Amino acid sequence: MINGIPINMYMMLSVVLFIIGVVGVMARRNTIIVFMCIELMLNAVNLLLVAFSTLHGDTSGQVFVFFIMAVAASEVAVGLAILSMIYRNLKSIDSDLLSKLKN
Amino acid sequence: MLGYTITQWLFGILSFMAIMFALMVVFTRNPIHSVLYLVLTFFCIAGHYLLMNAQFLAVVHIAVYAGAIMVLFLFVIMLMNLNEDTEPQKTMITKLIAGVIGGLFLLVLVGALKGTEQLAITKYGYSEAGLMKNLGRVLFKEYLFPFEIVSVLLLAALVGAIMLGKKEAKE
């Protein structure tokens, strides 16, 4: 229990958020939306880490979340730079157009 | 109220809003609306952090995600001038398959977590682990080296983003 809320409720919540992220990655073609869904999945995992850290009274989990946030920030910076480069070359960010490695 | 405490009500409302906004991120056609819904989702998650007494992370979450990352997303979308008309759509069958795979994944994970009710009764968590004082002590004692490495990582990402974003010299 965390302040009267069972831990498995937090588990269910982060599972649902994670699945929404997975479905978004599979169902959308806009690369930026795919990127945002990856952020959503990262946040679902962060939420669970904080929940367990609070449950056990262990600060390490929250330090990990802090590091995950830093890594996510740098990932977004580099990823969006790559996306804008792709857009400059292809004039589109449709993920189905990026299939040159296929053959 | 109806046998639930205020915290439980808040948890329910925040969870419902987080899930609804997350669904809107995936199902809205306009990319800008998607970004705004994602910001709202992040605010709901920050509310969850506050409920768990993780104040430092709540503040950092809002500052980093809603303040920095989502602004970056918005800028890129505006630079590319994306809107509803330019939005590429997957075929219906792909969306259906994505939904089915997501549903199956959800089923598997919920089934795997079914035995965790025991855990809920045995442990009682009210911790001050998320307070800035405790977090800072752990961060700068046990995790000092990773902390410094993260600063190098951020610098590398900065340099990489500038290198990638730079206009290439015309041959």
Residue A68 maps to a domain? yes
pLDDT of residue A47: 93
| pLDDT for B170 | 57
* Domain-located, residue A103: no
| CA distance between the termini of chain A | 53
**A22 pLDDT higher than 60:** yes
Write out the residue range of the structural domain in which residue A86 sits.
Answer: 7-96
Whether A50 has its CB under 8 Å from any CB of chain B: the answer is yes
Domain-embedded: residue A1: no
The enclosing domain of A33 has a CATH number of: 1.10.287.3510
Instruction: Classify A58 in phi/psi space as left (phi over 0), alpha (psi -120 to 50) or beta.
Output: beta
Nearest-CB residue to A12 (from B22, B110, B139) = B110
The pLDDT of residue B119? 62
Overall number of domains in chain A: 1
String of DSSP letters for chain A? -BTTB-HHHHHHHHHHHHHHHHHHHHH--BHHHHHHHHHHHHHHHHHHHHHHHHHHT-THHHHHHHHHHHHHHHHHHHHHHHHHHHHHHHS--BGGG--TT--
Do the chains contact at A12 and B99, CB–CB below 8 Å?
Answer: no
Instruction: Judge: B94–A71 Cβ closer than 8 Å, yes or no.
Output: no
Residue A101 in any domain: the answer is no
Domain contains A102: no
CB contact under 8 A, B154 and A17: no
Asked if A59's CB is within 8 angstroms of B134's CB, the reply is yes
**Do A70 and B130 lie within an 8 Å CB cutoff?**
no
A41-95 pLDDT, tens per residue?
A: 999 999 999 988 888 888 888 899 999 999 999 999 999 998 888 888 888 788 7
**Tell me, what's the ipTM?**
0.91
Nearest to A8 among B73, B120, B138 (CB): B120
Residue A2 covered by a domain: no
Rounded to an integer, what distance in angstroms lies between the CA atom of residue A74 and that of residue B30? 26
Best residue in B55, B57, B144 to probe A by mutation, most A CBs within 10 Å? B57
- Of the pLDDT bands very low, low, confident and very high (cuts 50, 70, 90), residue A21 is very high
Whether A82 is in a domain gets the answer: yes
Give me the average pLDDT of each 10-residue run along chain B (171 residues): 79 92 89 91 92 89 90 88 72 86 91 74 62 85 91 93 77 51
Residue A66: which of B52, B57, B123 has the nearest Cβ? Answer: B57
